[in-house]
Amino acid sequence: MKPMIRIVFTALLVLTMVAVAACSSNNSSSPSTSPSTGASEQPSGGKTDGEKVKLRIMTITTDENRNNIMEQFIKPNIAKEFPNLEVEFEPGGGGEDMANKMKTYNASGDMPDIFWNDAGFFTSLNQAGNIMDLTSYITEDGFLNKYKVPEALKHFDGKIYSLSSGADTYFTPVIFYHKDLFEQAGVQVPQTFDELIEASKKLKDEGIVPVVTPGKDGWGLKLFMLQQMVQTGDPEAMMKLVNNETDFNDPSVIAGVERIERLAKEGVFADGIANIDYGPAMEMFTSKKSAMLWMFTWELPNLAKIDSVDFFPFPSSSDKYDPNKVAQFWGSPLNGYAVSAKTEHPDEAVKVAEFLAMQDALYFESVGSAIALETGNTAANLSPLMEKFLNWYNAADVKIASFALNSVDARMSAELSTQGARLLTGEYPSAEFLKVINQEWEENTWFGN
Amino acid sequence: MNKFFSTKMSIAVFATPALLLFTVFCVYPLLPQLWMSLHNHNGFQNLGFVGFDNYWSVMKSSSFWVSHRNTYLIVAISVLIGLPLSMVFALFIDVQTPRLRRFFKSAAMFPAILSVIVVSQIWVAFYEPNWGLFNTILRSIGLDGLTRSWLTNEKTVMISIGLTFLWQYIGLNAILLYTGIKTIPKNYYEAALIDGANAFQVSTRITIPLLQDVMKYVLILSSLGSMAFYAHVRVMTAGGPGDLSRTVIYQMYYTAFDTSQFGKGTAIAVIFILQCLVISFLIQRFVAREKVEF
Amino acid sequence: MKNGIRLFWFVVGCSFLFPLYWMVSMSLKSKSEAYNNQFGLPKAWAWDNYMEVLSKYDFPLYFKNSVIYTGGTIAITLVAGTMLAYCLSRMSWKFNGLALFYVSLGLIVPIEVVIIPLFQLVKSLHIKDTYFALILPYTGFSLASCVLMLFAFLRSLPKELEEAACIDGANVYQAFSRIIFPIVMPALVTQTVLIFMRVWNEFPLAFILGARDQFRPLTVGLHSFFVSVGVSHWGYIGAAMMLTSLPTIIIYMIGNEKIENALTAGAILK
């Protein structure tokens, strides 16, 4: 055969193969490559010998806690627990990466059987009917009763969509600091906002970066800083904002945003804060380049291992706020393992979701975090720092839900990130920020439907 | 001869495979986009026909114009600064001794073969304000006043990202132009040298005019490539601070995915594609209109 | 002046190689040193970074997948693309101009724009969870640049080439395979390199369509590694970057001379 004809022939062959692949129906011979079609041919009980039920799980893989849970708890235990399952893990990343992936799957109807749910994309999934109400399943098998506060699992529509370890009941933002660096600069733990700025200036004079927090894409600003700066001045205003009873024209809210602008302008944050990612922010603090880290308490067990680390609540900006009485409450009932409403194997999938939530709980328990899910183990010894935290947190009787997780739709959330990162540069007037955000707030659909 | 070669059969055999693949996988997916841009669509659900409302609405947003300014800045950097530099570099490579030539050629393409993720990550480290390379150098030569937080300063962020882009592809373009230079018959140069032309005259009168096709190719590639500039921004700044380093594609992606407004996102895509069509047309129309015969 | 220009380009040339040094040195630093000593040589050489990364990063699998994606895309694109470019540059077809314009649209459609429809298309063609799920879209998106470049090359070739073949009694397929194909070889090599770089490093589409572990290419594997294991350990990140880039670097080091020879050969033919 002439070489060219061979090439043409090959090309046509390839095209034919494509056509064949395109026209072939579901039961064509493509074993192992297509889990969803393969699985549909089996009875949903999946108890037939040899034939394993296949499930696809998308996990959140954002930080070292998550990584440890996967490597030390989920992977070693899952085969033992579910001998009849063949499980495929897909690391979802986190933040926007994960949200975009979930939205694509959601739009094209290719949902994983079990996935980490997040307030950021929940609405889309729910409207498309892709997320399952777990209430009846977990009530029947009694898993619900393992939670200390079963009510906390309910979304405001009264349904339960996600199972979590309950550790996030105890997640709240605080200010971690290095005692020795404070001493070196002759700084006391600040009690008020102005003292915080004074302390930062002294630290800066000593060549120490005062505060670091993940600022890239407005992470810290959106998740806690905005809320803290408002509620340390006026907790009531913050509570109203979370419940959609006020807006960004509220003087107390405006004052909170202005505080952030002032922090940025006074050089309280590390240079380039608006582009510092989670990992580098953690590293800056643990390597003692910065004196303070503004962070959620899910990092507390890791940070407690460093001798010099202590924490204090956000200092007050007015008499209306008492640091020992008010705390931000992270938990959103939406964060946790959820099951696709379209899964072929709902029974198995719910069991796996329960298993995953339990592994999270076991991990957080093992590192000395408080959890709200009964693991059956006796409580481990808590580190002194964790005890100090629990004493403070349990005594705080005003707990305000997280604004970022409980009040904004995807669009407003994205805009908060954008505008927030800009506010952190210190080159963006708070008035501009307020103008844009208030506009978004008016168009916020979270409470509307 | 043409008649003999261009039978209907041969045209079909030669044209079909590529046109089919191209149509199915590159053009066809655009049609749902066009439809979506006329609807209020949140990615999975059509909430009704809205006509051109999405188009008006995206054009009212200030981020839309910021993203256009940034995109055209990148195009300007890569066409007005990048291409001339690549050309000079290509001519420079051409006159080196073989050993140096080999060094420059190997080095030139190196950044382009690395993944954008890798390159961007490295440059983020260069720009880091506290211990990054640039600020460290500036401090060490006593220019503390010039140090800045390159990627969060609104005046420097886009230039900084643009520099990374320029650096990554300048060498690749130079190599493409250089291979073009190599295809110019040697006797042209010999004739010119006999006529007593110097290196500069040879470049402007022989090399550059005869390179028209390759230059056009490189021009299209780099102007449209920089129109679609996106991945570097994603890794280096996530569009920040605020929306100040977003490009059009970033803005499209952000609108569709991050804010769940696929109707508006696809409207941006359509506007974008129209602009690219115009640019492509302008280049086709006005650059290298006449074929230079060897 | 002349030395100044030479020095400038020499510095630029060295800067092109700097990332290689940076990656190598970073991959051998411990976690804390990577932050404290970003640009210097490692003080203690942490070779275990590589062992650690290899144990958590299924490099052979991802590598194999990347080779299949890249190889498949190159093969189909070059064959189909050259044929179309030949048709457009040499055959008298009344839609030549239109077809060229149509294909050049491919240069301006960024892959991100069409991810959702593409995902649905791949699903409805039942090629999801096969290698074709990425190879065919990549081919669609690589054709434009391939066709345009080959068109430019073919257009600059004298018509006498085929006229001679025609006189010898060869048909169009023989003329194409015996005369045109060898001559455009340099352009094909260049295209191979360009497609390789593009597909080997492609991320957004692979992230969605090649998400299943057994079909993940290196870029997606690297990203998963960044977000799950590496997170803040630059030593690991550097080592994973090195492993991912190494095949490209080696091919480039070997292929560099060959590419150059092929291109020069193409020039001499004229």
Most confident of A65-74, A352-361, B99-108, C48-57: A352-361
Average pLDDT, chain C: 81
Considering CB atoms only, which of A3, A7, A61 is closest to C227? A61
Residues of C in contact with A107 (CB under 8 A): 116
End-to-end CA distance of chain B: 21
* Amino acid type, A32: S
Q: What's the pLDDT score for residue B286?
A: 76
Picking from C101, C153, C256, the nearest residue to B105 by CB comes out as C256
- The reply to whether residue B182 touches residue C264, judged by beta carbons under 8 angstroms, is yes
Contact by Cβ (8 Å): A417, A220: no
Looking at the structure of chain C, the number of domains it has is 1
Phi, psi of A437 (to 5 degrees): -70, -35
Range in A106-120, B161-175, C151-165 with the lowest mean pLDDT: C151-165
- Residue B270 to chain C, least CA–CA distance (Å): 9
User: How many CB atoms within 10 Å of residue B36?
Assistant: 24
A125 to chain B: closest CA residue: B44
Q: Which residues of chain A make contact with B239, given a CB cutoff of 8 A? A: 217, 418
Tell whether C119 lies on the interface with A, counting CB pairs under 8 A.
Answer: yes
Report the range of poorest mean pLDDT among A181-185, A287-291, B255-259: B255-259
The Cα–Cα gap between A268 and A263 comes to 5
Average pLDDT of chain B, as a whole number: 84
Q: Is C20 a domain residue? A: no
Q: What integer pLDDT is reported at residue A12 of this predicted model?
A: 43
Record: contact A8-C173, CB cut-off 8 A: yes
* Both structure tokens of B293: 């015969």
* Amino acid C211: pLDDT: 73
Q: Is the pLDDT of residue C194 over 70?
A: yes
User: Given CB atoms, is B237 within the 8 Å cutoff of chain A?
Assistant: yes
**Chain B residues inside the 8 Å CB shell of C104:** 220, 280, 284
List of residues 6+ apart from A203 with CB closer than 8 A: A181, A182, A185, A187, A209, A210, A291
Least confident of A349-363, B252-266, C136-150, C243-257: C243-257
> Which residues in chain C touch residue B6, judged by CB atoms under 8 angstroms apart?
90-93
Q: Map tokens 């299924």 to a residue.
A: C58
* Residues of A in Cβ contact (< 8 Å) with B261: 411
- Give the nearest chain B residue to C83 (CA atoms): B14
Q: Which residue type sits at B208?
A: I
User: What is the average per-residue pLDDT within C252-268?
Assistant: 57
Residues of B in contact with A218 (CB under 8 A): 240
Contacts of B153 in chain A (CB under 8 A): 425, 427
Exposed, middle or buried by CB within 10 Å (0-12, 13-18, 19+), for C37?
middle
* Residue A35's pLDDT band (cuts 50, 70, 90): very low
- State the pLDDT at residue C228: 63
List residues in chain A touching B: CB distance below 8 A.
8, 11-12, 15, 96, 99-100, 103, 106-107, 123-124, 127-128, 209, 216-218, 270-275, 289, 409-411, 414-415, 418-419, 421-422, 424-425, 427-428
C38 close contact with A: CB closer than 8 A: no
Beta bridge partners of A296: A173
**Tokens (6 digits) for C138:** 């990549």
Give Cα separations from B143 to B124, B137, B147 (angstroms): 21, 9, 7
Please tell me if residue B152 touches chain A, with a CB cutoff of 8 Å. yes
- Residue A216, pLDDT score: 85
- Average pLDDT of the segment spanning A189-215: 94
**Contact call for A61 and C128, based on CB within 8 A:** no
Q: What is the pLDDT, as a whole number, of residue A32? A: 36
Q: Count Cβ atoms below 10 Å from residue B99 Cβ, excluding itself.
A: 8
Distance CA A364, CA A372 (A): 10
Strands of the A53-59 sheet, one edge to the other: A85-91, A53-59, A114-117, A336-339
pLDDT reported for residue A9:
44
- Distance, CA of A363 to CA of A355 (rounded, Å): 12
- What residues of A are in contact with residue C173 (Cβ under 8 Å)? 2, 4-5, 8
Give me the DSSP letters along A97-131: HHHHHHHHHHHHT---SEEEE-HHHHHHHHHTT-B
SS3 at position A226: helix
Q: Which of A69, A131, A71, A120 is nearest to A98 (CA)?
A: A120
Q: What is the pLDDT of residue B179?
A: 78
- Chain A residues whose CB is inside 8 A of the B25 CB are none
Cβ pair A2:C125 closer than 8 A: no
Q: Across chain A, what does the average pLDDT equal?
A: 83
Q: A128 to chain B: which residues are within 8 Å by CB?
A: 44-45
pLDDT of C66 reads 92
Best-predicted range by mean pLDDT among A9-18, A244-253, A324-333?
Answer: A244-253
To the nearest 10 degrees (0 to 180), the angle between helices A430-442 and A251-265 is 140
What domains are there in chain A, each with its CATH number?
52-168+332-366 (3.40.190.10), 170-328+384-442 (3.40.190.10)
B14 touches chain C (CB under 8 A): yes
* Of residues C213, C218, C270, the one with CA closest to residue C241: C218
pLDDT computed for residue C257 by the predictor? 66
Q: Which CATH class is domain B26-286?
A: mainly alpha
Q: Which residues of A touch B242 (CB under 8 A)?
A: 418-419, 421-422, 425, 428
Rounded Cα distance between B75 and B84, Å, is 13
In angstroms, what separates the C-alpha of B79 from chain A's closest C-alpha? 28
Residue A176: its H or E element: strand A173-178
**Chain C CB within 8 Å of residue B69 CB:** no
Contact across the interface for C228 and A283, Cβ inside 8 Å? no
Task: Verify whether the Cβ–Cβ distance C91 to B104 is below 8 Å.
Answer: no
CA distance A93 to chain C (A): 6
Residues of chain C contacting residue B179, judged by C-beta atoms under 8 Å apart: 186, 190, 263
> Which residue of chain A comes nearest to C116, CA vs CA?
A104
Q: Give the model's pLDDT for residue B69.
A: 95
Residue C167: pLDDT band (50, 70, 90) is confident
The alpha-carbon gap from B165 to the nearest alpha carbon of chain C, in Å, equals 12
Region A201-209 average pLDDT: 93
Q: Subunits that touch chain B (at least 3 Cβ pairs < 8 angstroms)?
A: A, C
Q: Mind listing the pLDDT tens digit for each residue in B39-93?
A: 988 776 788 899 899 999 999 988 999 999 999 999 999 999 999 999 889 888 8
Instruction: Report the alpha-carbon distance of residue A174 to residue A183 in Å, rounded.
Output: 20
Bond preceding residue B241 cis, omega within 30 of 0: yes
Interchain pair B107, C17: CB under 8 A: yes
Interface mutation target, options A111, A219, A276, A425, chain B, most CBs of B under 10 Å: A425
Among A78-92, A108-122, B184-198, name the one with the lowest average pLDDT.
Answer: B184-198
Predicted local confidence at residue A11, as pLDDT: 47
What b-and-e string marks burial along C127-147, b requiring 16 or more CB atoms within 10 Å of the CB? bbbbbbbbbbbbbbbbbbbbb
Split at pLDDT 50, 70, 90, the class of B288 is low
Q: Closest residue of B to C264, CA-based?
A: B182
Whether ipTM tops 0.85, in short, is no
pLDDT of the residue at C108:
72
pLDDT-derived band at A160 (thresholds 50, 70, 90) equals very high
pLDDT of residue A364: 86
Q: How far is B21 from chain C (nearest CA, A)?
A: 6
Examine residue C16 and state whether it is found in any structural domain, yes or no: no
Give the pLDDT score at A25. 34
- pLDDT at residue B4 is higher than 70: no
**Which site among C134, C228, C237 would you substitute to test the A interface, given the most A Cβ atoms closer than 10 Å to its Cβ?**
C228
Residue C172: inside a domain: yes
Tell me, what's the pLDDT at A4? 44
pLDDT in tens, B219-275: 877 888 888 888 889 888 888 788 899 999 899 888 887 887 888 988 998 899 888
CATH code of C214's domain: 1.10.3720.10
- The Cα of C139 is separated from the nearest Cα of chain A by a number of Å equal to 12
Share of chain A above pLDDT 70, in %: 88
Sheet holding A173-178, edge to edge: A209-212, A290-296, A173-178, A309-312
* Token pair for C57: 């990063």
The pLDDT of residue A264 is 93
Domain that holds residue C138: 47-268
Nearest to B171 among C5, C16, C145 (CB): C16
CA–CA–CA angle A231, A166, A105 (5° rounding): 95
Nearest to C228 among A33, A35, A61 (CB): A61
Give, as one character, the DSSP assignment of residue A343: -
Q: Which of A104, A111, A277 to mutate to test the interface with C (most CBs of C within 10 A)?
A: A104
Nearest to B130 among A106, A128, A270 (CB): A270
Mean pLDDT of C209-234: 76
Taking one residue from A and the other from B, the number of pairs with CB-CB distance under 8 angstroms is: 102
Q: How far is CA B281 from the centre of its chain?
A: 16
Contact A281, A225 (CB under 8 A): no
Whether C133 maps to a domain, the answer reads yes
**Amino acid code (one letter) for A37:** T
